[in-house]
Structure 1
Amino acid sequence: MAFKSVLSVTRADHSDKDVTISAGLCAEVGANLSVLIMAPPPLSGCIPEWPKRRAAAIARLEERYRQIEKFSHEMGILEKTSRDIQKLLGARCICYDVEYCNQASVGDAVRQRALCSDLTIVGPALLNDINLGPLVINGSLFDTGKPVLVVPEGAEATLSPRRVLVGWDSRVEASRAVREALDLLSGAKEVRVTIVDPEVTCTGSGTEPGADVAAYLTLHGARVSVDRLPSAGKPAATVLAQHAIDTSANMIVMGAYGSRRLRERLFGGVRRWIEAKPPLPLFLAR
C-alpha cells in the first residue's frame, strides 16, 4: 500500500532527529506527517486534607509550589519544542500537524492516531527511550495492526529502498508484513525472500519453500528471488542480519511476534538486535 499518512511520536526532551527523519520520508513519498509530542502529566487536582500543624502545612505548601514551578518549566519547554518542530516542518514544504498528548495516556493516544495512519516511525531517540518506546510500539503495532518502521542510529532511511530482504516463515505475521510493505517491495530493484531452515511440506510453503510468496509478489510487480539458508545453530535473526549485509539490503521486512505479555520483550529484543547488527531500517507488521 502507498503511505500517505505517517505518525511520529516524540518528547520535549528528545532531539529533533526522529522528526527530521520522518519529515524526510514524508517528503520522499508525498505523505502527511502527524507529530505527537508527549506532554508532562497534569498536576493532580485532588488536594489531600490540609495538615493542622503549621510546620507541616508550610512544608505541604512549599512542595505544591515546587510542583507548579516544575510543571510550568516543562510546559515552557514543550511549547518551545512545538514551535521548533513546526518551524522545521514548515521549511520542508510538507503537509503536517503537531499535537500534544498527556504522558499519562500514551498508549491510548498513540493507538487513536495510529488507527488513522498508514505507518508509525520509530527513530533513534524513541528507540533509546525505554519508557516511551514500548508504549508507542504497543499502541501502534499491537493495538492497531498497523506497521512500524524502526530507523536506528546511522541507518539510511528511505521509503524507496532498492534492495529489500524479506524474512519469511509462512506465518500470518510475515504475510501481513509483506502485504503492508507491498508498495516498497514492488518498487524495489531487488527483493530477496529469505527462509532460514526451510521445511518442505505438502501444504503451506509447498515443495519449494518460498515459491508461493515469491509468485504472489511477482504478481504485484516485484523482482523476487528466494534464498533458503541453514541456521547452522545460529538464531534466525542473526542469519537474516548477516544475509542482509551480504546482499547489500537497504531494509528488512519481517513479521513481529509476541503476545501482550511479550510486548516489552519484543521492544527490548528489537533494540538489542539493532545495536548488535548493521544499522538497517526494520519494517515490522503483525
Structure 2
Amino acid sequence: MNRQTILFVMNADTPDDQISAAAESAARDDDHLLCLLADPAPALPVYAYGVLPYGGMNIPDNWGSLVQEARSKQEARANQVEALIAKSNTSGDVQTVMCATVDIKHAIARAARVSDVAFLASNLRDTPDVLREVASGILFHSPIGLRMNGCLPQAGNRILVAWDSSEAASSAVHAALPYLKASSEVAIVCIDPDMSEDGDGENPGYDVAAWLCHHGCTVTISQYPSGGLEIGECLQDRALEFGADLVVMGAYGHARMIQTVLGGTTRSMMEQTKLPVLLAH
C-alpha cells in the first residue's frame, strides 16, 4: 500500500495507549499521522442569553477566563500527544480545534480534504454530539472514507463490501480500494437486490466484482434476502459469518433527514462496536 496521510480524530480525553498504538501503526506502514484534537468550547450559561429587543446578551464576567483555561488545557494535551508521536518515531503532527459543537465539522472537513482516510478514536462515542459533527464533516464535506472501530493498522485480510449500486456504495469502494487490493479475500454482499434494469441489474454485484478482479482482488458475490430484518442487522450477521476484518459500505444512501429521524443502516452500523467499518458518501 502506498504511503498515506491518516487523519486521527481524538479529543483531550483520548487515552495515551490509543494514541501510541496509532502512532506505532503509522510508523510501521510509513504513513503520516495527522492527529486532530477536537473539543467543544465551554458553553455559555443559559442565563447569558437575552431576548431581543427586550434585552441583550449578558456574558458572565469569568467567561473569557473559562475559555482561556479550556484552550490552555487543550494545548497542554496537544504537547503530550506530540511527545507520544515523537517517542514512536512517527511522521506526524498535531492540530487542535475548539469551537461550538455545530462548527466542529468545518474544521474536521478542512483536515480531511488533505488526508487519505480518517480514523476515529473510540472514546469519541462518549460525546455523541461531537461524534455526529465529526462524522458529518468527513462524510458530507470531504472526499475520503471514515473508519470506525477496531484499531488503526491495515484493514485485514477479509473484507466485506455492502453493495447496492448506489453512488454512496461506489464512493466507499473507491475509498477502500487500497485496503481491498491488499486483502486476501473480498466478499460482495447484496441484500434484497433490485434486479430491475434501473436498479442493480440482472446480476447484482457482478460489475463491481469484475472491476475489483481487474485490480487483482479475489472476489466472491452473495445475494441475501433480509427476511424482514433491518439491513444493518443482516450485514452484521453476514460479516460475522464471513469473519470480516472490515465492512465497507456507503453512508446515507437515502435521505439523510429520514435516517436521522427514523434510524437506518448507516446509523445502526455506526452505533455498533463489534465490527470495524469504513463508510463514505
TM-score class, shorter-chain normalisation, is 0.7 to 0.9
Distance change (3 Å), C-alpha of 1:118 and 1:262: farther
The alignment status of 1:91 with 2:87, answered yes or no, reads: yes
1:97-112 matches, within 5 Å, as 97-104=93-100, 105-112=103-110
Distance change (3 Å), C-alpha of 1:262 and 1:118: farther
Alignment correspondent of 2:52? none
- Whether the 8 Å contact between 1:10 and 1:36 is mirrored in structure 2 is yes
Measure how far apart 1:262 and its partner are: 5.6
The alignment status of 1:217 with 2:212, answered yes or no, reads: yes
Q: What CA deviation, in whole Å up to 9, does each residue of 1:49-93 have, x standing for no partner?
A: xxxxxxxxxxx99x52x3344334323321221121011111221
- Whether the 8 Å contact between 1:8 and 1:18 is mirrored in structure 2 is no
Measure how far apart 1:274 and its partner are: 5.3
Higher Rg: 1
Alignment correspondent of 2:119? 121
Measure how far apart 1:31 and its partner are: 1.6
Which deviates further from its counterpart, 81-90 or 251-260?
Answer: 251-260
Quote the Cα distance in structure 2 between the aligned partners of 1:169 and 1:273.
Answer: 16
Quote the Cα distance in structure 1 between the aligned partners of 2:140 and 2:204.
Answer: 28
Measure how far apart 1:98 and its partner are: 0.9
Distance change (3 Å), C-alpha of 1:170 and 1:126: same
Equivalent pairs counted in the alignment come to: 266
| 2:203 counterpart letter in structure 1 | E
The alignment status of 1:232 with 2:221, answered yes or no, reads: no
Secondary structure at 2:128 match in 1: coil
Q: What CA deviation, in whole Å up to 9, does each residue of 1:81-138 have, x standing for no partner?
A: 1121011111221111112223234222111111111111122112332121111111
- Whether the 8 Å contact between 1:40 and 1:71 is mirrored in structure 2 is no
Alignment correspondent of 1:57? none
Alignment correspondent of 1:71? 67
Secondary structure at 1:142 match in 2: helix
- Whether the 8 Å contact between 1:245 and 1:278 is mirrored in structure 2 is no
Secondary structure at 1:93 match in 2: coil
Quote the Cα distance in structure 2 between the aligned partners of 1:266 and 1:284.
Answer: 19
Alignment correspondent of 2:11? 11
Q: What CA deviation, in whole Å up to 9, does each residue of 1:244-273 have, x standing for no partner?
A: 111111000000015464685699975654
Measure how far apart 1:3 and its partner are: 5.8
Secondary structure at 1:121 match in 2: strand
- Whether the 8 Å contact between 2:23 and 2:33 is mirrored in structure 1 is yes
| 2:33 counterpart letter in structure 1 | L
- Whether the 8 Å contact between 2:10 and 2:121 is mirrored in structure 1 is no
Secondary structure at 1:131 match in 2: helix
Measure how far apart 1:27 and its partner are: 2.9
Q: What CA deviation, in whole Å up to 9, does each residue of 1:223-244 have, x standing for no partner?
A: 0000111111111111110111
- Whether the 8 Å contact between 1:6 and 1:121 is mirrored in structure 2 is yes
Alignment correspondent of 1:142? 140
Quote the Cα distance in structure 2 between the aligned partners of 1:126 and 1:91.
Answer: 24
Quote the Cα distance in structure 1 between the aligned partners of 2:265 and 2:126.
Answer: 12
Distance change (3 Å), C-alpha of 1:268 and 1:88: farther
Quote the Cα distance in structure 2 between the aligned partners of 1:256 and 1:229.
Answer: 20
Quote the Cα distance in structure 2 between the aligned partners of 1:282 and 1:27.
Answer: 22
Distance change (3 Å), C-alpha of 1:165 and 1:24: farther
Distance change (3 Å), C-alpha of 1:29 and 1:75: same
Quote the Cα distance in structure 2 between the aligned partners of 1:270 and 1:85.
Answer: 31
Secondary structure at 1:36 match in 2: strand
Q: What CA deviation, in whole Å up to 9, does each residue of 1:144-198 have, x standing for no partner?
A: 23211112xxx35432410000001111111111111111111111100001122
1:169-188 matches, within 5 Å, as 169-188=164-183
Measure how far apart 1:39 and its partner are: 5.4
Alignment correspondent of 2:33? 33
- Whether the 8 Å contact between 2:32 and 2:90 is mirrored in structure 1 is yes
Q: Identity over the aligned pairs, expressed in percent?
A: 28
TM-score (normalised: structure 1): 0.81
| 2:63 counterpart letter in structure 1 | Q
TM-score (normalised: structure 2): 0.82
| 1:74 counterpart letter in structure 2 | A
Quote the Cα distance in structure 1 between the aligned partners of 2:204 and 2:248.
Answer: 18
